[in-house]
Amino acid sequence: MRDVQSLEVFSSMPVPKAVLKNAIPAMAAMLMVLIYNLADTFFIGQTHDAMQVAAVSLATPVFLIFMAVGTVFGIGGTSVISRAMGEGRKEYAQKVCSFCMWSCVLIGSVMSVLFWLFMDRLLAVIGASPNTWELAKCYLNIVCLSGPFVLIGNCYSNILRAEGQSSKAMMGMLVGNLLNLVLDPMMILGFGWNIAGAAIATVIGNVVGAGYYILYFLRGKSLLSVRMKDFAVRGKVCSGVLAIGIPASLGSLLMSVSQIIVNGRMSGYGDMALAGIGVAMKVTMITGMVCIGLGQGVQPLLGYCVGAKNWERYRKILRFSLCFALILSIVLTLVCYLFTDQIVHAFLAEGSAFIYAVRFVRILLTTSCLFGVFYVLTNALQSMGAAVSSLVLNLSRQGLIYIPALFIFQNFLGADGLVWAQPVADILSTLLAAILCCAVTAKITRTA
């Protein structure tokens, strides 16, 4: 009975209700990730030390590398598991789930050790100045403690949606991020630990969030498994996850790499410009993160339809999701645009940094209304198991299109050019996503 109730959202629930039931908790979870990302910057901003804000901005893309690797197993595992559920292969889905857990533990631990060993080289690459070096090093040395837990949290906040447990997927993110939100002011301002306090709060929040997911499986309430005895690599378990997960994670990984490039080149215009771009990127994350959640919430629904070869329901879900995504993106963009000054002022009080941030936000918001459509189309490709198309798309948006645009536009427009590169990449990558999605859908439905 529990299996039937969990999978009803995929197979028979009315499309609008199914999309909202799965997507709203996913969006809420990503909203909590957004709040978690903003919290460190906000409370560090209350120290009125722009150098600490700049240091957190430098450290953010490094921390996002952990999340990108978690995405390999989260998005890849969700795609494989949701299709397996549609085909009725529950034992195979359990093997995939266990593979994802133990891979996160091993790889997260290795990454933490490597980051500690090469911390000074890493700081040089990300563009730390003499004013921000020790601050960024302090933050990253502490945050690396949570490496395996970041991977587990980011992975299972996705995978639980593949078995219809979107609310529980949200709760893990909610618990960890709320705890971080409570601890930040206490440790940064109350104890006076400043940037070290922000890092400690981050570690505790990630450990608790990952612990929630582990406890969920240990209590035996899941259709899936993380038991070591179910761990498998063969039988297309590893290759199936990586084929979709790696292209999906490349978008996040390239986002980190491109942000490191932006920070490095923006630092040439001074630490206040660096603080400004860091805050501007976080403001546009308000639209971006919510839309990422929408796409991730829709993906298991689409993947189940692919596995069950229910193409009529697939098309209905995709059409409704695209319309909803466009409306949501436009509304969020307008809110951010109307309240740009107030939002930026919450993070920055220093005059020149504030001016930079407001100007940069206005530029980035010109195309944020496309985020919802882009992420729904991206997740539609992943739901179909279109590894090559996903790879092309994720390489393009933050890599093949965006990174060259950074250098080209900087030559003509200076600091503003580094910011205008993102809207150009947004437009071109959304067009590419639409073309690839139409082509892959047509191909699969013809051969089905």
- Note whether 180 and 205 are within 8 A (CB): yes
The 3-state DSSP class for residue 219 equals: coil
pLDDT band, residue 2 (cuts 50/70/90) = very low
Closest CA to 393 of 259, 242, 254, 240: 254
Range 240-243 contact pairs with CB under 8 angstroms and sequence separation of 24 or more: 240/76, 240/80, 240/96, 241/72, 241/73, 241/76, 241/77, 241/80, 241/96, 241/99, 241/100, 242/72, 242/76, 243/76, 243/385, 243/387
Closest CA to 419 of 430, 409, 429: 409
pLDDT band, residue 363 (cuts 50/70/90) = very high
pLDDT of residue 191: 87
pLDDT band, residue 8 (cuts 50/70/90) = low
pLDDT band, residue 174 (cuts 50/70/90) = confident
- Whether the pLDDT of residue 11 is over 80: the answer is no
- Whether the pLDDT of residue 325 is over 90: the answer is yes
- Residue-wise pLDDT tens digits, 115-160: 999 999 888 887 777 888 889 899 999 999 889 999 999 899 888 8
- State both tokens at 64: 């996002």
pLDDT of residue 27: 86
- Whether the pLDDT of residue 181 is over 90: the answer is no
pLDDT of residue 200: 94
What is the spatial distance between Cα 15 and Cα 159, in angstroms, rounded to a whole number? Answer: 21
Range 212-218 contact pairs with CB under 8 angstroms and sequence separation of 24 or more: 212/171, 212/172, 212/175, 212/176, 213/152, 213/153, 213/156, 213/157, 213/160, 213/172, 214/152, 216/160, 216/168, 216/172, 217/101
- Whether the pLDDT of residue 1 is over 50: the answer is no
Closest CA to 384 of 297, 303, 311, 443: 303
- Note whether 125 and 260 are within 8 A (CB): yes
- Whether the pLDDT of residue 215 is over 70: the answer is yes
What is the spatial distance between Cα 259 and Cα 418, in angstroms, rounded to a whole number? Answer: 10
271-288 mean pLDDT: 86
pLDDT of residue 446: 72
- Whether the pLDDT of residue 3 is over 70: the answer is no
Residue with token string 């936000």: 361
pLDDT band, residue 7 (cuts 50/70/90) = low
Name the amino acid, one letter, at 374: F
- Residue-wise pLDDT tens digits, 36-69: 777 777 788 777 777 887 788 778 777 778 888 8
- Note whether 359 and 273 are within 8 A (CB): no
- Note whether 142 and 199 are within 8 A (CB): yes
Q: What is the DSSP letter of 146?
A: G
Q: Please state, for a pLDDT cut of 70, what percent of the chain lies above it.
A: 97
- State both tokens at 315: 């098309």
260-272 mean pLDDT: 84
pLDDT of residue 4: 47
- Whether the pLDDT of residue 369 is over 80: the answer is yes
Name the amino acid, one letter, at 387: A
Exposed, middle or buried, 338 (CB in 10 Å: 0-12/13-18/19+)? exposed
340-355 mean pLDDT: 84
- Whether the pLDDT of residue 360 is over 90: the answer is yes
* Residue 113 CB contacts under 8 Å (≥ 6 apart), including other chains: none
What is the spatial distance between Cα 436 and Cα 387, in angstroms, rounded to a whole number? Answer: 11
- Note whether 333 and 287 are within 8 A (CB): yes
Backbone dihedral angles phi then psi of residue 74, each to the nearest 5 degrees: -70, -55
Radius of gyration of the chain (CA): 21
What is the spatial distance between Cα 166 and Cα 160, in angstroms, rounded to a whole number? Answer: 6
What is the spatial distance between Cα 191 and Cα 43, in angstroms, rounded to a whole number? Answer: 13
CA distance between the termini of the chain: 30
What is the spatial distance between Cα 287 and Cα 35, in angstroms, rounded to a whole number? Answer: 12
What is the spatial distance between Cα 200 and Cα 221, in angstroms, rounded to a whole number? Answer: 31
Residue with token string 């179909």: 384
Query: How high does pLDDT run on average in the chain?
Result: 86
Closest CA to 55 of 147, 146, 120, 139: 139
Distances (CA, A) of 374 to 33, 73, 295: 20, 21, 9
285-295 mean pLDDT: 87
> In terms of pLDDT, which residue wins out, 45 or 3?
45
